[in-house]
Structure 1
Amino acid sequence: MATSKKGDKAKIHDLLFQALETEMGGIEVYTAALSCATNEDLAKEWQGYLDETTTHKQVLLTVFEELGLDPNEEVPSREVVRHHGKSLVAAIELAKTGGDPAAAQIVAAECVVLAETKDHQNWELIGLVADKLSGAEAKVLKKAYDAVEKDEDHHLYHTMGWSRELWIEALGFPAVLPPPEEVKKVESAIGASRAEQNREKML
């Protein structure tokens, strides 16, 4: 079915509701993850991400205000996203009861990666919508995207690095901590791939 260049407004708004719910859930996920962070560098990193995620929520609330949307409106997709977020928090809390702080920290890192994968995609799509639309709505979305996108790349690729290196350490092999993504200040998928490929040289 052909779609217009104006896009599907209902679906665009649905994406924004999902994005807001993702940020709200992300705040809960980072709060839970921080309670498992035994590595001081990781704890500092996640505290920064929590602060940024709180800011991203406010950026979206501004978008909602400027577009005349009700941030409290319940749409079916929000319930699904909320369920995902609460499930990740539950997984972190379950890991904490296992009595192995190192294992719980890995679970927390994996849960952050899962949460940030959805979050990252939301913002990529918001950026796409901003590019495809024109007029006031495009400007509002572009401003929000520009304010957030670099943070989202950082959150996803750096935590993926932490998760990998913590696993390698747990498996009994030399790990690069903080991970190469952190040291090389990776901000893209290509950069993350290069950092991972060069990790052996950093041991």
Structure 2
Amino acid sequence: MAKDRYDSQQLNDLVLQMMETELGGEQVYRTAIACAVNPDLKKEWEEYLEETLTHQNVVRSVCDALGLDPDTQVPSRLVVKHIGESLVKAMQMAQKAGDPAAAQLVACECVVHAETKDHANWELLGKVAEVATGDIGKALKAAHEAVEKDEDHHLYHTKGWCRELAIEALGMPAVLPPPEEVKNVETAIGASRAEQQRTAML
């Protein structure tokens, strides 16, 4: 039988990073929701928080399939934890400054940071899922299919919110909710098209 074409040690490391990313993501969203002023954005992030809690369980199921303890600490995971905690602190700092609109924008930027890592994690897991075989291959494919669309949505929609809120802060006309939201974008190509069409939506 041909050996699977990936490094199983690195896969374990990636999955433990994913566990920490989803745990940190929960804290990032809880803090971001407290910073949200726009009711549409707040509602969006509340949905993302619920999905993040589901994603935690999906990663736990991947840990089970790999025979991994989801609480195992590795150096790369500690880095992910540090970054997540830093994002939470950044939002709290912005809140304390007393400008709600500015704090909301910082929260948006922090969510984009968190979701960029999260999205990359799931993309990498998808690459391994393409080549993994047997029960592990099935578990990875099922996990990736369950979460991939949510991750695309979280990243591209929040990037749109971030851009439009920053444009609004600069005193220029903004499209709120952003085009990505209105057009229900789910891909990088869709996000690019939506951004190109924003001027027509002003």
Give the alignment's TM-score, normalised by structure 2. 0.97
Q: How does 1:1-203 map to 2 (within 5 A)?
A: 5-203=4-202
Amino acid at match of 1:61: R
1:92-121 residue CA offsets vs partner (Å, 9 max, x unmatched)? 000001110000000000000000000000
Give 3-state SS (helix, strand or coil) of 2:24's partner: helix
1:132 CA displacement: 1.4
**Can you list the C-alpha shifts for 1:14-72, whole angstroms capped at 9, x where unaligned?**
00000110000000000000000000000000000000000000111111122211011
Q: TM-score, normalised by structure 1?
A: 0.97
**Partner SS state of residue 176, structure 2:** coil
CA distance in 1, matches of 2:43, 2:7: 40
Contact 2:21 2:80 in 1 (8 A): yes
Q: Which letter does structure 2 place at the counterpart of 1:94?
A: M
For the residues of structure 1 that align with 2:156 and 2:61, how far apart are their CA atoms? Answer: 27
1:201 and 1:5 map into 2 onto residues whose CA distance is: 49
Once residues 66 and 181 of structure 2 are traced to their aligned partners in structure 1, the CA distance between those partners, rounded to angstroms, is 36
Aligned length: 200
Unaligned runs of 5+ in 1: none
Distance in 2 (CA, whole Å) between partners of 1:16 and 1:67 is 9
CA RMSD between the two structures: 0.8
Displacement after TM superposition at 1:5 (Å): 4.8
State the alpha-carbon separation in 1 of the partners of residues 34 and 160 from structure 2. 19
